[in-house]
């Protein structure tokens, strides 16, 4: 089980976007991308500011109708996966936690977070965000 230190998104190498019920997360360092669905979206987005696992469990239970042990086990598994893939980092920042209670809890759906590496070569190109319209377009491999 993950200890109760604070975690946050590794903004040095990770970019993400939440759109149409899916979360796309890209680790530009290793060239992997991930799709998050269901409760994984809210849990990942909670880590935009430092959170402990206790904070994540409490905040998840304020959104979903889920038992403490189930939420803790699922969040622990997500945190381990995210750490292994350098999507999150431990931080010395103090946990920032504001509990917002919803009037009606959503039904719990197990978090889905799927990894892909089929675009690794493209995502690892240097200067991926630099576009030179007179040359090759985007992305262009630096030689």
Q: How many CB atoms lie under 10 A from the CB of residue 108?
A: 18
Q: What is the pLDDT of residue 29?
A: 85
Length in residues, the chain: 143
Q: How far is CA 128 from CA 52, 102, 123, in A?
A: 33, 40, 7
- Output DSSP code: residue 101: -
Return the minimum-mean-pLDDT range out of 36-50, 74-88, 113-127. 113-127
Domain spanning 6-123: which CATH class is it, in words?
Answer: alpha beta
Q: What is the pLDDT of residue 67?
A: 96
- State CA 112 to chain mean position distance: 11
Is residue 128 predicted with pLDDT exceeding 90? no
What residue segments make up the domains of the chain, in order of their start? 6-123
What integer is the mean pLDDT of 67-90? 95
């Amino acid at each position: 089980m993950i200890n109760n230190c604070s975690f946050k998104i590794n903004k040095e190498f990770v970019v993400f976007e939440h759109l149409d019920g899916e979360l796309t997360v890209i680790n530009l360092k290793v060239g992997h991308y991930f799709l998050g669905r269901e409760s994984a979206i809210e849990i990942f987005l909670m880590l935009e500011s430092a959170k402990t696992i206790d904070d994540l469990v409490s905040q998840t239970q304020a959104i979903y109708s889920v038992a403490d042990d189930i939420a803790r086990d699922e969040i622990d598994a997500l945190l381990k996966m995210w750490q292994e893939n350098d999507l999150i980092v431990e931080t010395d920042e103090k946990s920032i936690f504001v509990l917002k209670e919803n009037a009606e809890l959503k039904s719990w759906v197990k978090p889905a977070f799927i990894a892909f590496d089929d675009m690794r070569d493209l995502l690892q190109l240097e200067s991926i965000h630099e576009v030179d319209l007179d040359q090759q377009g985007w992305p262009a491999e630096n030689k």
